[in-house]
Amino acid sequence: MTDIARNGSSAPAPARRNRSLLEVDDRTRRRNAAEARFKLMGSIAVIIGLLALVGLLTSILLNGMSSFRQTYVSLEVYLDPAKLDKDGSGNLEKIAKVTTFGYKPLIQKAMVATVAANGVDDQGLKAKKIADMISPEAPATIRDYVLANPDKIGETVRFDLLAGGRIDGYYKGRVTMETAALDRNVSPEQLRIADALRDAGVLDTRFNWAFFTAPDASDTRPEAAGLGVAILGSAYMMLVVLVLALPLGVAASIYLEEFAPQNWFTDLIEVNISNLAAVPSIVFGILGLAVFINYAGLPQSAPIVGGLVLTLMTLPTIIIATRAALKAVPPSIREAALGVGASKMQTVFHHVLPLAMPGILTGAIIGLAQALGETAPLLLIGMVAFVREYPAAPPEGLFDPASALPVQIYNWTTRGDPAFVERASGAIIVLLVFLLIMNILAIILRRRFERRW
């Protein structure tokens, strides 16, 4: 603009006219330099962003990959009738009276026997210390087995029991001989026994399926903690969001886009929807607590409440995406349909909506992905809790207490045992994979089905 003005107002420099186009003059050089500067700054910004991403991902992966492997000890446990079924009646009720505390001596005996049988030096450790190498989860594993198979009492059964958290940490590099010497929960002697047992094939590290299926565990047994309840809870919440937010959001946008008159009232609604999309999610949590729990009397920690709150949060996203998708359908389609005698309703549902569907689904999936990673509103409705029971199948299960993936991550980072850091990073990886899958799905939908005019 300025160039033209300048050239027009003052006489052009004669030197300029004679110069070759291939020869770069001062001003061009300046403009080129400005462009080069901007390009450089842009790539620096991208590089900084990429470095941050790589740093974050490597730290999470380094910390978290080990949670997908777990150390097990294979033990032959003698199910002593003198301990488990004192009067020999086989009465299940009486067997159930023996608590997990009654199973500990059996494991201790089995562990000491295994150490001796494999010719492993017991390093002068007491039997209790040797038994401490097995997770406190083990008595529950054996008790569940005995209650399910009471006829096995009196026999010797082989169990794959979880190794203690510190022993497991030793094979993941979290615990070393040096730290073990200072650590009150493990000793170098125990680690040496573990090494010998590993050589003997009694102890091994394998893929940790339980991480995806087991419920949360208390602070004393990080090795048993899993994401089962959290994944179910998140799935239930997404179900509620999908069932409520998608039809509501699509219906609202169709009405607003195709049927509603253009007046100040619809303008107001439009502004409010855009504003709602920007409301911090914690606000929806407060609303959920006040309306759904205190007023409507819904249970605490239940996926239904979480789902309702996240529905409120996702609705504006879906409405905005749907309206954009509807707008992208060219008016000629509508006009053609109306021209051959279709009603307004037929036009929308037979022609416009199918063409807008890929865009709508993409918006819905992105909204769901957002809701999946949301933590703040769940803090207020009691989902940040220690929940070990799996919720029942829906619809009743929606009212049972459950956890959720992001909440479980938050929960684990606050625990005292360092083994939970690994679990939390593992859970982050799982959450990222879910988000990645959803986003890829959205991209595929868009690529495959979206039509451009």
Partner 1 sequence: MKSIKLATSAAAIVAVSASAAIARDQVQIAGSSTVLPYAAIVAEAFGENFDFPTPVVEGGGSGAGRKKLCEGVGENTIDIANSSSRIKQSDIDLCASNGVTEIQEVRIGYDGIVFASDINGPDYAFEPADWYNALAKKVAVDGKLVDNANKTWADVKDGFPAQDILAFIPGTKHGTREVFDVKVIEAGCEATGAFDLFKDANGGDKKAAEKACTALRTDGASVDIDGDYTETLARIEANQNAIGVFGLSFYQNNTDKLRVATMGGVVPSVESIASGEYPVSRPLYFYIKNAHLDVIPGMQEYVEFFVSDDIAGPDGPLAEYGLVPDPELAKTQEAVANRTPMGPLN
Contacting partner 1 (CB under 8 A), which of 74, 118, 123, 179? 179
Query: Using CA atoms, how far apart are residues 272 and 315, in angstroms rounded to an integer?
Result: 12
C-alpha angle with apex 302: 296 to 306, nearest 5 degrees?
80
Nearer to partner 1 by Cβ, of 257 and 374: the residue is: 257
Strands 156-162 and 69-78: antiparallel
Least distance (Å) from partner 1 to the CB of residue 119? 30
Least distance (Å) from partner 1 to the CB of residue 213? 16
Tracing tokens 């409120």 back to the chain, one arrives at: 312
User: How many CA atoms are closer than 13 Å to the CA of 393, on its beta-carbon side?
Assistant: 0
The runs of H, that is alpha helices, within 149-263 are 165-170, 177-182, 188-199, 210-213, 228-254
DSSP secondary structure of 140-157: HHHHHHHHH-GGGTTSEE
- Residue 252 makes contact with partner 1 by CB under 8 A: yes
Query: Using CA atoms, how far apart are residues 240 and 305, in angstroms rounded to an integer?
Result: 9
For partner 1, which stretch binds (CB under 8 A), given 151-159, 297-305, 339-347, 348-356? 297-305
CB 426, CB 64: distance < 8 Å: yes
Q: From 387, 168, 363, select the one nearest 253 (Cα to Cα).
A: 363
DSSP designation for 11: P
Least distance (Å) from partner 1 to the CB of residue 206? 24
- Residue 112 makes contact with partner 1 by CB under 8 A: no
Of 259-278, binders to partner 1 (CB under 8 A) are 260, 269, 272-273
Contacting partner 1 (CB under 8 A), which of 291, 366, 376, 441? 291
Contacting partner 1 (CB under 8 A), which of 63, 67, 131, 136? 136
DSSP secondary structure of 93-137: HHHHHS-HHHHHHHHHHHHHHHHHHTT---TT--HHHHHTTB-TT
Of 366-405, binders to partner 1 (CB under 8 A) are 382, 384-389, 395-396, 399, 401
The size of the interface with partner 1 (CB under 8 A), counted in residues, is: 60
- Residue 360 makes contact with partner 1 by CB under 8 A: no
- Residue 127 makes contact with partner 1 by CB under 8 A: no
Query: Using CA atoms, how far apart are residues 111 and 134, in angstroms rounded to an integer?
Result: 8
For partner 1, which stretch binds (CB under 8 A), given 77-85, 213-221, 325-333, 433-441? 213-221
Nearer to partner 1 by Cβ, of 180 and 405: the residue is: 180
Nearer to partner 1 by Cβ, of 161 and 312: the residue is: 312
Query: Using CA atoms, how far apart are residues 190 and 194, in angstroms rounded to an integer?
Result: 6
For partner 1, which stretch binds (CB under 8 A), given 2-10, 311-319, 337-345, 443-451? 311-319
Query: Using CA atoms, how far apart are residues 323 and 249, in angstroms rounded to an integer?
Result: 10
Least distance (Å) from partner 1 to the CB of residue 150? 16
Q: For residue 318, what are the contacts with CB-CB under 8 A and spacing of at least 6?
A: 245, 246, 249, 250, 253, 360, 363, 364, 367
Nearer to partner 1 by Cβ, of 210 and 252: the residue is: 252
Of 51-110, binders to partner 1 (CB under 8 A) are 96, 99-101
- Residue 284 makes contact with partner 1 by CB under 8 A: no
Site residues (vs partner 1, CB under 8 A) = 96, 99-101, 136, 140, 143, 175, 179-180, 182-185, 217-221, 244, 248, 251-252, 255-256, 260, 269, 272-273, 291-293, 296-301, 304, 308, 311-312, 315, 382, 384-389, 395-396, 399, 401, 413-418
